[in-house]
Amino acid sequence: MAAVLKLFAYLAAINLFTFAMFVLDKRQAQSAGRRISEATLLRLAFIGGSLGAKLAQHRLRHKTRKEPFRSNLNMIVALHAVIWAAMMLPPVRIAAFEAISSIVASAISPEEPKPDLPRRFGPGSSWP
């Protein structure tokens, strides 16, 4: 349950931050100031801020006609929708949590010792 709360807190924060970056970029565009790159805005959307990006795009009427930005943002939103829909299906959710658990368990448990192998091959090496 704590992991779910952390996920929602992250998503809320990244969406608010993304919205704020769109607001800043819109203001900079109006005042001919230094802009935020489209790549940065798309990265923010990709790492979880897609809803904030679409809300800002709609509310501020910012980057609504700019191609390929608009198409790329729509693809990110579609990707996130597919991921969320898949996560709602119990088999997918269970498989995702099992995969994450195994990754975490392997990161926590110590690795098995590796046999001592010679660092070089050739004359004088101890390789049989």
Rounded CA separation 15/54 (Å): 10
Q: Residue for token digits 């709360």? A: 5
Q: Residue for token digits 């969320």? A: 84
Per-block mean pLDDT, blocks of 10 residues, the chain (128 long): 83 96 94 94 95 94 87 93 81 75 68 59 57
pTM exceeds cut of 0.85: no
Rounded CA separation 69/41 (Å): 9
User: How confident is the model at residue 62, as a pLDDT?
Assistant: 85
Amino acid identity, residue 95?
A: A
